Structure 1
Amino acid sequence: MSAELTATRRDATLILTMSNPGKRNALDPAMAAAAIETLATAEREDAIRAVVLTGADGFFCSGGNLNQLMARRSQPKGEQAASIDALHGWIEALRDCPKPVIAAVEGGAAGAGFSLALACDLIVAADSAQFLMAYIGVGLTPDGGGSWFLGQSLPRQLASEILLDGKPVSAARLQQFGIVNRVVPDGSALDAALAWAEQLAGRSPNAVERIKGLLRDAPGNSLTTHFAAEKDNFIESLHHRDAQEGITAFFEKRAPHYR
């Protein structure tokens, strides 16, 4: 069987499953292309309110295929550049998706697989899950935004340790630093992520999209610029139909029902 990314639905949640049997779901350009197309469709479909990214057969993703990488050493550099561009397009699609995206990690997330998890809004990980940036072990440097995400999220010393040591980091340790949101018993990461996605699906789609945009833009904004963005988003949200429903539901002591 070849590498593929499958898309299934559970109520308002889109489930994207990476699958590459026998290779711990190592990445393939076809998977990236499918993910970008599927996420673009999900963005346009109002019935989809949340996305969960996971891996098949009890493992999230082992990252790049070293056999393919070795073969590309004898090919023009543009061959590998195109593959990295495809991965980066996938990362950007996850970051830009207006719906909340949750990574459900069992087994491990290595290399670009770790980057894919970091690109999600939230991470639910099994207790024994390991996270690994092992590029240094084979004389390579990160792709998929791994060094950017870790550099933004962690103290420099810890990010340096993860990238320069190249050793596995437990879900529990990453939870201490706020990268992993929830650690759950082995075998239950997907169920926990789906339950969380169901809760988020009941939130205002307008507010979710705007909050994601504010968080995405915050690292590059000055506080003054961000004040202006928050003001604009708050006013637009106040005059959106979701705020009408949300405030009315609060006064009526009932759950809001967003369209």
Structure 2
Amino acid sequence: MSDANTVPPILVRREGAVLVLAIHTPGKRNAISPGLYAALTEALTGARTDAAIGAVVLTGADGYFCSGGDLNVLATRRLLTPEQRHEKLEGLHGLIRLLRDFPKPVVAAVEGGAAGAGLSMALGCDLLVAARDAAFSVAYIKVGLTPDGGATAFLSQVLPRQLLTELCLTGDRIGAERLHALGVVNRLTEPGGAEAEAIALAVRLAGGPEQATARIKTLCREAVSNSLDAQLDREAQFMVEAQGSAESAAGIDAFLAKQSPDFAALRRKP
């Protein structure tokens, strides 16, 4: 039997221009293990500047996305000072901020379910693909804890306050099909098909214009909190930048010539 300490917290592989990161905690429904946030942060930081990577898929190994914090680990947090607890929490919150600011598309692929911080990580991605039988849960209330990782921020953007409050106060599970109907889940698949669908979507996005993609991600993220005037200013800034870019030149020339633009070629140029 292998030493638990040798088990990598994520499995990493490439599918063309897509980097696939799978949370990996065998036998624990991919509960958060020591080193997970640091491993994901390292992988995403490397992918950020790797021109060969155009998109990322975040998933879970062995048919389950992530069941959240390992309660055996969390039980020891009461022995720490509040400052030490806050420092530990920054591993998750730093990762969520990295996902928020990541310039390339990140697609979550959820099989089985996502609970607690696992739900926060899934919601922190740009797009969400889920198997029909997957279940999601804010979960914290059941063990006397409160949500973290931006779960309430993300859900408040897409759910009515009453439903958000119900999910947080009861910890009840909500199915992927209902979240799809509410617009939280982008794509539904049959069980076992979420990762393949997420990779196909990520491959499509990875072929897009890199700079325009990053700008669009920023616009979509900021639109929720910006006033109309502030958003118009931001759109004007980005449009002015985009109109002078090599990406728009290639895209417009290809459109006028009735061809498909090769944005990937621009990323390969020194």
Q: Bin the TM-score by the shorter chain.
A: over 0.9
Q: 2:52 aligns with which of 31, 47, 56?
A: 47
Contact kept, 8 Å, 1:3 with 1:28, in 2: the verdict is no
Please state how far the C-alpha of 1:216 moved relative to its aligned partner.
Answer: 1.9
| Aligned equivalents of 1:198, 1:141: Cα separation in 2 | 36
Q: CA RMSD in A?
A: 1.1
How high is the sequence identity, in percent, across the aligned residues?
Answer: 48
Taking the aligned partners of 2:86 and 2:13, their CA distance within structure 1 comes to 30
1:106 aligns with 2:111: yes
Q: Does residue 208 of structure 1 match 2:201?
A: no
Give the aligned length.
259
Deviation at 1:29, TM superposition (A): 4.2
Q: Spell out the pairing of 1:153-164 with structure 2 (5 A cutoff).
A: 153-164=158-169
Structure 1 residue identity aligned to 2:76: A
Distance 1:192 1:152 in 2: 25
Matched, 1:175 2:152: no
Give every structure 1 segment of 4 or more consecutive aligned residues whose post-TM-superposition deviation is greater than 3 Å: none
Aligned to 2:67: 62
CA shift for structure 1 position 3: 5.4
Which residue of 2 is the match for residue 217 of structure 1? 222
Corresponding residue for residue 6 of structure 1? 11
2:256 aligned residue: 251
Structure 2 unaligned segments of length 5 or more: list them: none
Residues 1:151 and 2:156 are matched in the alignment: yes
Matched, 1:36 2:80: no
3-state secondary structure, aligned to 1:153: coil
Bigger drift between 29-38 and 85-94 goes to 29-38
Q: Equivalents in 2 of 1:29, 1:214: separation in Å? A: 34
Give me the whole-angstrom Cα distance separating, in 2, the residues matched to 1:27 and 1:255. 42
Q: Give unpaired runs (5+ residues) of structure 1.
A: none
Q: For residues 35-91 of structure 1, what are the alpha-carbon distances to aligned partners after superposition, in whole Å with 9 as ceiling and x for unaligned?
A: 112111111111110000000000000000111111222232333222210000111
Q: TM-score, normalised by structure 2?
A: 0.93
Letter in 1 for 2:60: G
Instruction: Answer whether contact 1:3 1:27 (CA < 8 A) is retained.
Output: no
Q: TM-score, normalised by structure 1?
A: 0.97
Deviations 1:106-142 (A, max 9, x none): 0000000000000000000001000011111111100
Matches of 1:120 and 1:75, distance apart in 2: 31
Native 8 Å contact 2:9 2:34 kept in 1: no
Contact 1:29 1:86 in 2 (8 A): no
Query: 1:97 is matched with which residue: 85, 97, 102?
Result: 102
**Out of 130, 136, 145, which is 1:131 matched to?**
136
SS at match of 2:147: coil
Q: Secondary structure at the match of 2:192?
A: coil
Q: What corresponds to 1:24 in structure 2?
A: 29
Question: 2: CA distance between counterparts of 1:217 and 1:28?
Answer: 32
